Amino acid sequence: MTALSLHPSWLVGDLDDPAETATFAEIAVSVDGEPLAQLEDPDTGRLSEGTRIPALPLAQGLAQRWWRLLHEPEKHSDRRIEARHRLDVLTPGYVFPPLALWSGGDGIVARLLTPDLRFQRQRFILPERDDPWYLPRLPVEGGLSAFIGATLERLPAHTGAELRESWERVLCSRADAEELAWCIAAGRLGFDPYDAETPDLEGLAGSLSPVLFADLSEAATVEELPPAREWIEANQPAVARAPQIRIGDLGKFPAPDPDDHPAHQGFAAALRLRATLGRQHPRDVLQELTGGAVFEVASGPRAVQGIAHRVNGMMSAVIRAYDDAQRRFRLCHAIFVGWDAGPGEDRLVSPAKTRRHQAARAFAAELLAPTELLRERTDGRRPTGAQVEKWAEEFGTTAHVVKEQLWNRLRLPAQMTT
């Protein structure tokens, strides 16, 4: 299955630039094999699944932004950063579906944004969808590579020098393991790896392992990175002294489905852990896991919420939290990433929007506010605010977590407290 396809149907063009004339096409965008959008001509009412534009500017933009487009995760709501992930920005002067691509860590997140209608006569008919698509990385890269290759084949000789140079540079980087790692690391932080102004990444990483620096780069902006790295370096010794959890006794970590919403993996992992422990109530689960030990809590910057370390089937952690409920939630987050970690690895607990951390937050929410306990207590009825507060206190979590579980799992909004 091709997760993302940009399929050009070549047309006869009559444009001023011979390279754009040769690459004029109706470009249909599909996700998971389904057309992303239809375009309606206001004069004729004709519907098409693609926009009629020269492929050259789009292919050129993809090649030039390759590393940032596919490896930088979504971190903050910033229109300038968003612009470098929107495909319609790569087709200046032409309409194109408002699709944005971000790194989801192991995969790609594709999201529909609000179209810019200021200079647009034709109307997009877009799917009614708020949730993003979670796509496997390799098929997405393959689909974009195929589009760039098809565009190159259409170019007349001695044209498209900028596209040819940009794509050749990407291909050379992909063929060299050391350079590939550098380009991916730069892309995670939103840098162009070929720009002389890109900073020394080894200096930014400090003493962090490549895995931990990658985790941090997915959570922090470049401005947030130095204080976050310093917090990690300062607290790593404390992780070794922290209480240990027998993470190896939990069994095999549930493999993710790259096409599925990450929350489903977190939910499935929580069910498996409870079944393994033979416990359901949140306080019983945490007691069984930790033996009642209190994990060290430290203050720190936004981009880090804790560190988990796994070795010899054991996991330890240091958590950044301001109260017991947040400590428990982030400890559950740490258990998820520690369960997923390799031997001897440090993993970050962070607010990153990548698949791993979205799944970890869903795992924590399900452990601390179990769907089955909420189903028993509500019996299909909308709970009051007072009931939500009572259950949150009983479970050892916040009313916010309980409300989110009620809505996400049972579609039951809590009533306002009077």
Predicted confidence at residue 121, as pLDDT, reads: 60
pLDDT at 122: 64
pLDDT in tens, 91-109: 987 888 889 999 999 899 9
Q: Give the pLDDT mean for 17-38.
A: 88
Query: Residue 131 has what pLDDT?
Result: 85
Residue 119 pLDDT level (bands cut at 50, 70, 90): low
What is the DSSP secondary-structure string of 137-155? HHHHHHHHHHHHHHHHHHS
Computed on alpha carbons and rounded to an integer, the radius of gyration of the chain in Å comes to 24
Asked whether residue 163 carries a pLDDT value surpassing 70, the answer given is yes
Q: Which of 74, 148, 143 is nearest to 113 (CA)?
A: 74
Among the residues of 108-259, which ranges form H helices?
137-154, 161-175, 177-188, 201-205, 210-219, 225-241
Residue type, 143: G
Encoded tokens for 179: 């350079």
Q: What is the pLDDT of residue 416?
A: 59
pLDDT in the model for residue 364: 98
At 240 the pLDDT is: 87
Which pLDDT score is estimated for 302?
Answer: 92
Cα 82 from Cα 72, distance rounded (Å): 11
Reading phi first (left if > 0) and then psi (alpha if -120 to 50, else beta), residue 27 is in beta
The region, left, alpha or beta by phi > 0 then psi within -120 to 50, assigned to residue 372 is alpha
Local confidence band at 36 (pLDDT 50, 70, 90 cut-offs): confident
Cα separation, 151 vs 62, whole angstroms: 12
Query: What percent of the chain stands above pLDDT 90?
Result: 74
- As a whole number, mean pLDDT of residues 330-335 equals 96
Tokens representing 113?
């944004």
Structure tokens at 173: 């980087």
- Cα 80 to Cα 140: distance, rounded to the nearest angstrom: 24
Residue 303's pLDDT band (cuts 50, 70, 90): very high
Express as a percent the part of the chain with pLDDT over 70. Answer: 97
Q: Three-state SS for 70?
A: helix
Q: What is the pLDDT of residue 209?
A: 94
DSSP state at residue 84: T
Q: What burial class does residue 253 get, using C-beta atoms within 10 Å of its C-beta: 0-12 exposed, 13-18 middle, 19+ buried?
A: middle
How many angstroms separate the CA atoms of 216 and 225, rounded? 7
Q: What's the token pair of residue 126? A: 């877009």
CA neighbor of 262 nearest in space, from 161, 324, 354, 344: 354
Q: Report yes or no: 103 and 221 within 8 Å, Cβ to Cβ.
A: no
Give one DSSP letter per residue of 78-106, joined into a string.
Answer: -HHHHHTTBSGGGSTTS----EEEEE-SS
Asked if 135 contacts 2 with a C-beta cutoff of 8 angstroms, the reply is no
CB 304 within 8 A of CB 310: no
Tokens 């440090």 appear where?
Answer: 346
- Report yes or no: 319 and 388 within 8 Å, Cβ to Cβ: no
Per residue in 341-385, pLDDT (tens digit) is 999 999 999 999 999 999 999 999 999 999 999 999 999 899 999
pLDDT over threshold 50, residue 418? no
Output DSSP code: residue 173: H
Find, among 101, 99, 95, 97, the residue nearest to 118 by Cα. Answer: 95
Q: What is d(CA 71, CA 86) in angstroms, rounded to the nearest whole number?
A: 14
Report, as an integer, the average pLDDT of 270-292.
94
Residue with the two structure tokens 């993996």: 265
At 124 the pLDDT is 72
Classify 26 as helix, strand or coil. Answer: strand
* Average pLDDT over the chain, rounded to an integer: 91
**What letters, b where the CB count within 10 A reaches 16 and e where it falls short, cover 86-113?**
bbbbbbeeebbbbbbbbbbbebbbbbbe
Residue found under tokens 């534009």: 53
